[in-house]
C-alpha cells in the first residue's frame, strides 16, 4: 500500500506520462551472516542520470557510479520489521524511473530455543493418579523454517523421576508415570531441553521444580505403644504425662489436637498444651473399690486437622501410690530491689513496713489447703512478723527499735500439707542500717552514655558515683574495648581500641562496699554505651 502511494506521489511530482516512465524489478538473495562489503546486486545505470536509494537502507548503500548495492553491516533477519524474511529497496532516478530490488534474507540458525522462564515451579498432590499431567511453558525460536522449529523436548537428567514429557499440538505437558509419596520425596528438580531443526541444531533449557503436596494419608501415631503405665502423685494440675504423638504429613494435615475420649474421664482430667493433667486431687474415677484411688484409666485421642481428619488413640493407666510425694516445697523470697538477696531496715523505717514477699510452690502440683510457711528461727526478739495471705505471705517489720545487732538471719520453714508431709527451709539476711558499721551503697542502677567512634585509648567514657568513697568497682562484661578503675569507678577506652566497632555496648559493673560487708552486699549497675560517628560526647 505504501509503495502504491509512493508511486502516485512520484507520478504527480514529476508529471510523467506512460511513454516517459520506466519501471523494473530485481530479486536477489543474501544470507543474514554475510559480511560488510558484500555486493547484493550490480545495476546498469545511466551515468548521465541521478539516482536515490529509498526503503530500508539501514544496512545497505548505493554506489551510483558503479551501480553496486553493497552491505554496510550484517543483516539480522529476526530484526526485520516484516512477517517475512525479505525487504524492498527502491531506486528512483531523474529523469523518472523506478527500480525495485526485492531482497530475500536467507536464515542462519543463529538463535537457540528459549523458554519464557528459566525456572518453572509446579505442584502436584501426592494422591494424583498415574496419567495426571501438568502444563509447561514451551520454548520458542525466532529463526525461520526448520531453524526456528522446536523438533524435540527432553528431560536431560539421568533420573527424571516419575515423569515424562508429552506434546499435544502446541502444548508441552509433564505427565505422571508412577505413584507419588511425599514422605519419600518432597521435591523433584530436573532440566528440560528444547532442540531446534537447524544443522547443527541449537538447544535451550529450563529448570523444573515439582513440589509434591501433602495429602492426609498418615494418622497421628503415639509410637509402637498403644497403652502406657504412668505414676502420678494424685495432685491436681501436676503433669501426669507429656503427650508426643507425631504425624508424617505436613501443614494442617500434621497439626495434632488431643482430647480425652470418655465423657466420664473428661470430668476429672484435661489436656493443656499437650500435657495430661487432673482437674482435682485423687479423682473418683478408679477401678479400685477402696476409698483411695489407686488406678485410673484414661483414653486419649490424637486427631489431625486434615480433611477428612485421621485419628489414633492411647490408653493411659495412671497409678497413684498410697503415699506419693516426690518433691519438697520451694520457698521464693522477693525483696526490693530485685537484684539483691537481702533486706535492709532503714533508720527511719516505720512499723508494718513490708521487707519481703514469700511464695511457696511444689513440683508435685498445686499447694494444698494444709500447706503453710512460718518463721522458724532468727526472730527471737520479736522484731519481725509473717502475715499470711491466700497465695503468699508478707514479711513485715514490727519495731525497728527492738533491733540490737546489725544483721539478722531469719529462717523460714514451709510445708506442702500432704499426708506424707515434706518440708523445706530458706534463710534471709536482714541488715539494720542504724547499727551497721558501714553505710549501705546507694547508686544509680542504670546509666546511658554516647561516645564518638574516634576516641583514643585512655579517653573518658563514664563514671559510677556512690554515696561511699570506699566502694570498689569491677567490670563484669568481658571482651569489650573498655577498662575500669576499681577505686574511682571511671570507665575508659582500653588499648584494644581497634575493636570499638559495635554501635552499642551493654556493660554490667559490680559495686561493692568496703569491709566488713564487702562479701555480703553488692549492687549491679547497667551502662549502655552508644558509639556514634559524629564528633561529640554526651552524657544522657
Specify the pLDDT at position 17: 45
C-alpha separations of 346 from 382, 385, 406, 409, 514 in Å: 18, 17, 11, 17, 19
The answer to whether the predicted template modeling score (pTM) of the entire model surpasses 0.75 is no
Confidence tier at 14 by pLDDT (50, 70, 90): very low
Specify the pLDDT at position 438: 57
Classify residue 359: in a domain, yes or no.
yes
Point out the least confidently predicted range of 66-70, 195-199, 417-421: 417-421
Question: Residues 362, 368, 373, CA angle at the centre, nearest 5°?
Answer: 70
> Which stretch, 157-171, 242-256, 439-453, 520-534, has highest mean pLDDT?
242-256
Pair 15, 95 in one domain: yes
* pLDDT above 60 (res 449): yes
Query: CA-CA distance, 407 to 430, in Å (whole number)?
Result: 6
Specify the pLDDT at position 107: 79
The number of beta carbons lying within 10 Å of the beta carbon of residue 295 is 14
Pair 383, 421 in one domain: yes
Pair 6, 83 in one domain: yes
Pair 466, 535 in one domain: yes
Pair 400, 452 in one domain: no
Pair 347, 291 in one domain: no
Specify the pLDDT at position 22: 81
Classify residue 222: in a domain, yes or no.
no
Classify residue 50: in a domain, yes or no.
yes
Query: CA-CA distance, 220 to 248, in Å (whole number)?
Result: 8
Q: Do the Cβ atoms of 88 and 102 come closer than 8 Å?
A: yes
Query: CA-CA distance, 90 to 26, in Å (whole number)?
Result: 10
Q: What is the CATH number of the domain that holds 126?
A: 2.60.40.60
Question: 90, 106, 122 — which closes off a domain?
Answer: 106
Closest CA to 521 of 468, 485, 481, 475: 468
Pair 135, 173 in one domain: yes
Question: 106, 134, 149 — which closes off a domain?
Answer: 106
What's 99-132 look like in SS3?
EEEEEEEECCCCCCCEECCCEEEEEEECCCCCCC
Across the chain, mean pLDDT equals 83
Confidence tier at 20 by pLDDT (50, 70, 90): low
Specify the pLDDT at position 536: 47
Point out the least confidently predicted range of 256-265, 430-439, 459-468: 430-439
Specify the pLDDT at position 537: 46
How many domains are there within the chain? 5
Backbone angles phi, psi at 402, to 5 degrees: -75, -10
Query: CA-CA distance, 139 to 115, in Å (whole number)?
Result: 4
Which H or E run contains 266?
helix 263-266
Specify the pLDDT at position 372: 87
Question: Residues 444, 447, 451, CA angle at the centre, nearest 5°?
Answer: 150
Confidence tier at 385 by pLDDT (50, 70, 90): very high
Classify residue 201: in a domain, yes or no.
yes
| pLDDT tens-digit series, residues 492-530 | 998 866 667 777 889 999 888 765 554 456 778 899 999
Share of the chain above pLDDT 70, in %: 86
Confidence tier at 289 by pLDDT (50, 70, 90): very low
DSSP string of 209-237? EEEEE--S----B--S-SEEEEE----TT
Q: Do the Cβ atoms of 513 and 535 come closer than 8 Å?
A: no
Question: 106, 139, 161 — which closes off a domain?
Answer: 106
Specify the pLDDT at position 223: 85
Specify the pLDDT at position 205: 96
* pLDDT above 80 (res 292): no
Domain extent for 130: 114-213
Per-residue cell: 95: 529523469
Indicate left, alpha or beta for 274 from its phi (over 0: left) and psi (-120 to 50: alpha): left
* pLDDT above 70 (res 535): no
Residues in the chain: 540
* pLDDT above 70 (res 215): yes
Backbone angles phi, psi at 25, to 5 degrees: -130, 140
* pLDDT above 50 (res 288): no
Confidence tier at 202 by pLDDT (50, 70, 90): very high
Q: What would the mean pLDDT of 220-241 be, rounded to a whole number?
A: 84
Classify residue 219: in a domain, yes or no.
no
Pair 39, 122 in one domain: no
Pair 18, 42 in one domain: yes
| pLDDT tens-digit series, residues 87-131 | 888 889 888 889 888 888 887 888 899 999 999 999 999 989 999
Amino acid at each position: 500500500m505504501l509503495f502504491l502511494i509512493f508511486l502516485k506521489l512520484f507520478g504527480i511530482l514529476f508529471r510523467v506520462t506512460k511513454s516517459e516512465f520506466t519501471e523494473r524489478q530485481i530479486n536477489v538473495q543474501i544470507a543474514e551472516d554475510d559480511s560488510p562489503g558484500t555486493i547484493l546486486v550490480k545495476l546498469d545505470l545511466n551515468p548521465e542520470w541521478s539516482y536515490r536509494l529509498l526503503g530500508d537502507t539501514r544496512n545497505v548503500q548505493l554506489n551510483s557510479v558503479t551501480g553496486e548495492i553493497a552491505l554496510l553491516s550484517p543483516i539480522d533477519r529476526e530484526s526485520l520489521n516484516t512477517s517475512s524474511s525479505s525487504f524492498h529497496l527502491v531506486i528512483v532516478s531523474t529523469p523518472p524511473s523506478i527500480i525495485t530490488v526485492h531482497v530475500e534474507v536467507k536464515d542462519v540458525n543463529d538463535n537457540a530455543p528459549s523458554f519464557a522462564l528459566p525456572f518453572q515451579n509446579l505442584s502436584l498432590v501426592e494422591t494424583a493418579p498415574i496419567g495426571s499431567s501438568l502444563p509447561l511453558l514451551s520454548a520458542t525460536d525466532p529463526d525461520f523454517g526448520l531453524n526456528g522449529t522446536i523438533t524435540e523436548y527432553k528431560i536431560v537428567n539421568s533420573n527424571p523421576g516419575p515423569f515424562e514429557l508429552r506434546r499435544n499440538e502446541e502444548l508441552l505437558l509433564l505427565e505422571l508415570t508412577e505413584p507419588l509419596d511425599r514422605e519419600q520425596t518432597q521435591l523433584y528438580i530436573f532440566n528440560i531441553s528444547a532442540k531446534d531443526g537447524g544443522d547443527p541444531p541449537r538447544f535451550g533449557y529450563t529448570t523444573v521444580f515439582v513440589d509434591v503436596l501433602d495429602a492426609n494419608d498418615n494418622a497421628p501415631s503415639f509410637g509402637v505403644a498403644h497403652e502406657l503405665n504412668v505414676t502420678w502423685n494424685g495432685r491436681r494440675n501436676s503433669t501426669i504425662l507429656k503427650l508426643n504423638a507425631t504425624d508424617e504429613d505436613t501443614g494442617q494435615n500434621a497439626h495434632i489436637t488431643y482430647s480425652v475420649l470418655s465423657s466420664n474421664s473428661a470430668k476429672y482430667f484435661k489436656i493443656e498444651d499437650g500435657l495430661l493433667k487432673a482437674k482435682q486431687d485423687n479423682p473418683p474415677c478408679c477401678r479400685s473399690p477402696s476409698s483411695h484411688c489407686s488406678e485410673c484409666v484414661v483414653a486419649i485421642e490424637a486427631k489431625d486437622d486434615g480433611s477428612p481428619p485421621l485419628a489414633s488413640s492411647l490408653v493411659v493407666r495412671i497409678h497413684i501410690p498410697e503415699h506419693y510425694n516426690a518433691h519438697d516445697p520451694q520457698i521464693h523470697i522477693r525483696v526490693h530491689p530485685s537484684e539483691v538477696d537481702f533486706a535492709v531496715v532503714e533508720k527511719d523505717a516505720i512499723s508494718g513496713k513490708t521487707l519481703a514477699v514469700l511464695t511457696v510452690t511444689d513440683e508435685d502440683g498445686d499447694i494444698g489447703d494444709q500447706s503453710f510457711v512460718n518463721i522458724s528461727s532468727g526472730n527471737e526478739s520479736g522484731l519481725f512478723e509473717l502475715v499470711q495471705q491466700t497465695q503468699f505471705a508478707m514479711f513485715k517489720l514490727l519495731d525497728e527499735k527492738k533491733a540490737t545487732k546489725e544483721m539478722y538471719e531469719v529462717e523460714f520453714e514451709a510445708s506442702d500439707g500432704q499426708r506424707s508431709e515434706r518440708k523445706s527451709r530458706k534463710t534471709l539476711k536482714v541488715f539494720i542500717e542504724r547499727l551497721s558499721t558501714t553505710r549501705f551503697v546507694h547508686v544509680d542502677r542504670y546509666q546511658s552514655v554516647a561516645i564518638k567512634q574516634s576516641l583514643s585509648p585512655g579517653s573518658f567514657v563514664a563514671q559510677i558515683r556512690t554515696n561511699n568513697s570506699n566502694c570498689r568497682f569491677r567490670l563484669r562484661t568481658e571482651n569489650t574495648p573498655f577498662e575500669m578503675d576499681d577505686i574511682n569507678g571511671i570507665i575508659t577506652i582500653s588499648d584494644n581500641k581497634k575493636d570499638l566497632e559495635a554501635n552499642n555496648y551493654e556493660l554490667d559493673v559490680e559495686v561493692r562496699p568496703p569491709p566488713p560487708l564487702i562479701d555480703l552486699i553488692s549492687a549491679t549497675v547497667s551502662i549502655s554505651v552508644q558509639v556514634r560517628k559524629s564528633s561529640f560526647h554526651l552524657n544522657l
